[in-house]
Amino acid sequence: MSSSKRSTIIVEHLRKQQMWDAISKGKRLDGRNLDDIRPLEIELDIIKKANGSAKVKLGNSEVIAGVKIETGEPFEGLENKGALIVSAEVLPTASPYIEPGPPDEETVELARVVDRGIRESEMIDLDKLVLVPGKIVYTIFVDCSIINADGNLFDATSYAVVSALASSKIPVFEMQDGKVVHTGNSQDPPVTTIPVSITAIRIGEAVILDPTSEEEACMNARITVTTNSNGDYTAIQKGSTGAFTVEQIKKAAETARIKGEEVRAKLKESTRDG
């Protein structure tokens, strides 16, 4: 059951006033334009024990994604595809407002939206990751630990997952006498496209990209749009308790395609050398 909550972050009126004044002039409190994204830093292969990993800093939001690849049973109804499972945890280190415990609805939504963006775009060709059709497939776990939360965890987490997956090394397994054996070799992941998630929020009549947590505390509504390398839309999620006009949604979707290309170039560049 999902219920309304009192806001955890109460933004000072003076700060809100400053924010609205700045937005009316096309700027934000940190000096960005309305559709500027914060500096994006990507560091690959930081968890050597994992098959792939990435640390992403989007402004002050910091996420680490780790890929672990094993073998196991396929999902029901998807017997001839590898299994891909994306999870996320907002660590209690991330902000004063997090309580340790099982994932709350915000975290569950975050993990599922990020997963959807990767899965629906078919970033990884799961058909190529089957050992014994119908019985044994490659299982790819991507787990994210959000270390510091300063807004737009959707995009930060998505970029970490994409970077970790694209730069991972898949151990090559084979069947010997009915048992799964690791050959000792590894292969590049079968990547078909690079999905990019772009999140925007509405404050008053303005739509701004890549919000900080302070801006999220003042938002009416939020929209996350994921595009693939063709510019097609593969996942969309509207969040928070306000509403968008149809115009705003269409404009946000259009901006997501354009900005998505910029971010895609950056993701490709960092994984190419990885």
Partner 1 sequence: MIQTRNLIDENGRRTDGRTADELREIKINVGVVKNADGSAFIEFGKNKIVAAVYGPREVHPKHMALPDRCVLRCRYHMSPFSTDTRKNPAPSRREIEISKVMREALEPALILEDYPRAAIDVFVEVLQADGGSRCAGITAASIALADAGINMRDIVASCAAGKVDEKIVLDINDTEDKEGGADMPVAYMPHLEQITLLQLDGILSYEQFNECIDKAIRGCEIVYEIQRQVLMQKYFGNETELKEEQ
Partner 2 sequence: MGMQEIKRKFVVPGDRIAEGNFRPLMNVIKVNNTIIATRIGIAEAGRDGIKVIPLSGVYIPRVNDIVIGKITDHSSLSWEVDINSCFSGHLPAQDVFGRDFSPARDDMGRQLAIGDLITARIIVFDRTRDPMLTIQDKDLGKIPRGEFLKISATRVPRLIGKRGSMIQTIEQATQTRVLIGQNGIVVVTGRNPEGINLAVRAIRMVEEEAHTSNLTQRVKVLLNVPDTPQQTEGTSVTQIEKGQKVEEIQSTIQEVEEEIEEELEKGEKL
Q: Looking at 5-13, 40-48, 107-115, 154-162, which segment touches partner 2 (CB under 8 A)?
A: 5-13
Q: Which does 13 bind (CB under 5 to 8 A by kind): partner 1, partner 2, none?
A: partner 2
Give the alpha-carbon dihedral of 160, 131, 135, 181, to 10 degrees: -90
Burial class, 86, CB count within 10 angstroms (exposed 0-12 / middle 13-18 / buried 19+): buried
Give the one entry of partner 2, partner 1, none that residue 10 binds, where binding means its C-beta sits below a cut-off of 5 to 8 angstroms depending on kind.
partner 2
Measured from the Cβ of residue 202, the count of other Cβ atoms closer than 10 Å reads 21
Which of 12, 99, 177, 247 forms a contact with partner 2 (CB under 8 A)?
12
235, two tokens: 């996942």
Check binding of 16 to partner 2 (CB under 8 A): yes
Least distance to partner 2, CB of residue 260, Å: 34
For partner 2, give the closer residue by CB, 6 or 272: 6
Interface with partner 2 includes 24 (CB under 8 A)? Answer: no
List the structure tokens of 49. 């024990």
Q: What is the DSSP letter of 220?
A: S
**77 binds, options partner 2, partner 1, none, Cβ within 5 to 8 A by partner type:** none
Token pair for 124: 């990884």
Compute the least distance from the CB of residue 89 to partner 1, in Å: 6
The gap from C-alpha 59 to its chain's centroid, in whole angstroms, comes to: 15
Task: Pick between residue 167 and residue 228 the one whose CB is nearest to partner 1.
Answer: 167
For residues 195 and 158, give the distance between their C-alpha atoms in angstroms, rounded to a whole number: 9
Widest pairwise Cα distance in the chain: 71
Structure tokens at 126: 């799961």
Q: What is the dihedral of CA 200, 204, 206, 212, to 10 degrees?
A: -40
* Residue from the set 1, 2, 4, 13 that interacts with partner 2 by CB under 8 A: 13
The binder of 15, among partner 2, partner 1, none, by C-beta within 5 to 8 A per type, is partner 2
- When CB distances are held under 5 to 8 angstroms depending on the partner's kind, the choice from partner 1, partner 2, none that residue 133 binds is none
CA 141 to chain CA mean position, Å: 14
Q: Would you say 13 or 179 has its CB closer to partner 2?
A: 13
Q: Which is nearer to partner 2, 1 or 10 (CB)?
A: 10
State the nearest-atom distance from the C-beta of 241 to partner 2, in Å. 17
| Interacting residue ranges for partner 1, rule: CB under 8 A | 46-50, 53, 60, 62, 64-68, 70, 87, 89, 91-96, 99-100, 102, 141, 143, 145, 147-150
Instruction: Tell whether residue 5 is a contact of partner 2 (CB under 8 A).
Output: no
How far is the C-alpha of 176 from the C-alpha of 56, rounded, in Å?
A: 39
d(CA 76, CA 217) in angstroms, rounded, equals: 40
In one-letter notation, the amino acid at residue 56 is V
Indicate whether 14 belongs to the interface with partner 2 (CB under 8 A). yes
Residues found near partner 2 in the complex (CB under 8 A)? 10-18
